[in-house]
Copies of this chain bind each other. A is one copy, B any other.
Amino acid sequence: MEMGMVRLNEIRTNEVAIAPPQAEDAALVFIGRISTPWTSRLETPRQGRPDGPVCTIEIFEPWVAALKGVERFERLEVLYWLHHSRRDLVLQSPASNGEVHGTFSIRSPVRPNPIGTSIVVLEKIEGNRLFVRGLDCLDGTPLIDLKPDRALFKPIAPPQQGDFETGQVHMCKKIEG
């Protein structure tokens, strides 16, 4: 295997695959589709960049009405389904050099639930299409969710008790148990 090649579906030296239980705990609906310049995993960025190419996010019906007010946010959090990823590796070797990393310690698309998250810069919205920068996924990637960047969003609902809780008083039992 060549050093540094992108993963297609191979398992690399020292990587560990498990036999995962059936994925049947919850079900997703694809609410849109992402268009990017990248049609091969050999080209996609490892991480999106805010000055990257403009990509489009198309929202399907019946969710287009849910875009109301999105134009007020400069940055959005985007969740998408990494539809080509295998899901069974617990140790991975991103550099294909025999050194392995736990799946939860890297941002590889190969995960038990292959969901990608990106923070994108919103350029404009036209009808059911958003034009954004900062994505890192393949052309045709299914969209799962869209929300304001947490750093820009202030809850509209009044605060609740939990908003004022600090420290670890409530969790002593669980920490010791």
Contacts and interface: CB of A to CB of B under 8 A. Distances in A.
Interface of A: 3-4, 6, 16, 18-31, 35, 37-38, 42-47, 49, 51-56, 59, 62-63, 65-70, 72-73, 76-77, 79, 81, 83, 90-91, 94-96, 100-107, 111-113, 115, 117, 119, 131, 136, 142, 144-148, 150, 153, 155-163, 165-171, 174-175
A168 B54 contact: yes
A103 B153 CA distance: 13
Protomer copies: 2
B145 A115 contact: yes
B29 A22 contact: yes
B174 A69 contact: no
A160 B146 CA distance: 26
B27 A26 contact: yes
A162 B54 CA distance: 13
The 4 closest A-B pairs by CB, nearest first: A37-B170, A68-B102, A69-B105, A45-B162
A68 to B, nearest CB: 3
Contacts of A156: 94-95, 101, 106
Contact of A94 (B83, B102, B144, B155): B155
Given A63-B104, A104-B147, 7 more contacts: A18-B62, A28-B113, A42-B161, A95-B157, A105-B148, A115-B115, A136-B162
Contacts of A160: 6, 42-46
Nearest to A69: B105
A91 B65 CA distance: 7
